[in-house]
Amino acid sequence: MVSQNNNSDFIPLGSRPIDRAGHHRSDPAWLDTAFARDDVLVLLVHKGLPLLAPDGGLVWLGPEAAKVAPDARRLFLGLDKQGTPVFALGLPDGFELESSLIAGTGEFTDFRMAVTRLAELEANLASTARSIFEWHVSHRFCARCGAESEVTEAGWKRICPECRAEHFPRTDPVAIMLATRGDKCLLGRQKAWPAGMWSCLAGFIEPGETLEQGAARELHEEAGLICHPANAEYLFCQPWPFPSSLMIGMLLPAENEDITVDPHELEAAQWVSRTEAREILAGEHAEIFAPPPFAVAHHILKEWAERED
């Protein structure tokens, strides 16, 4: 089954993408010229944190960005609707904002806090940049021979100078699903979450299984529910840069109500009614609150709660 809303254009972090213009990534001369253009737009990331202005939006620099940190890693993000090139700079760990050329322009902000203050396009760009830069940090060395690999393709590829193996940014598929049974849905919580926050269950898709099979497996492993993959309903997905996942939202009807929680995965799980789900989303429930609107789990619960069936 597929939701009538089966697109992800409205999902935070994934909406309002620009043209990635991938054909320019292998043209160093074009990239250098684009980076030096007067109208170039450059965002900055330091240790996974975007630079935010006092008003909450991203700090955007022009060609002067090249002087901020000459050893910064450059990533070509694409072209906006006006054909303006957009880049991100991954600043070195030792970069100190207070003593730099951009002191006073803003502050590097935790991404989860930053995203609530960003426009849709900015959130998409900052999310993409974070994912790519974090991939470079954790994939410096060739997985085939162990030699240190080199960055190429405008930041979208690494190649090993020894064995010539090519390495590309990975995205891990994660099923994030709401189990349902009649007029109830299952919410779970992890001990590390803020008190009162409950959400959908989620888990990585394993090699050799489909999205639907992985979602059903995770529900059985974490909560003891029996769900048939053939009954799974895809809703929408979200790129999630922690560090680089694709969250695939689904609904799965359960065959049983008895809950058996895996304490290694969840602190607790419970069924809530559709009426309660609406109260949770409205912030009116006495004990439970939902994940924030920038998280796809919020939209999965909202999709189900607003249905009449």
- Looking up residue 122, the CATH number of its domain turns out to be 3.90.79
pLDDT tens per residue across span 198-218: 999 999 999 999 999 999 999
Mean pLDDT calculated for residue range 172-179: 98
| Confidence band of 289 (pLDDT split at 50, 70, 90) | very high
Yes or no: say if 198 and 288 are a contact pair by the CB < 8 Å rule: yes
Domain that holds residue 286: 172-305
Residue 92 lies in a domain: yes
Give how many domains the chain has, as a whole number: 2
Domain boundary among 123, 138, 153: 138
Residue 53 lies in a domain: yes
Residue 153 lies in a domain: no
pLDDT tens per residue across span 3-44: 445 688 889 999 888 999 999 999 999 999 999 999 999 999
Answer positive or negative: Cα dihedral of 251, 252, 257, 261.
Answer: negative
Share of the chain above pLDDT 70, in %: 98
Query: Would the pLDDT of 170 be above 70?
Result: yes
Residue 276 lies in a domain: yes
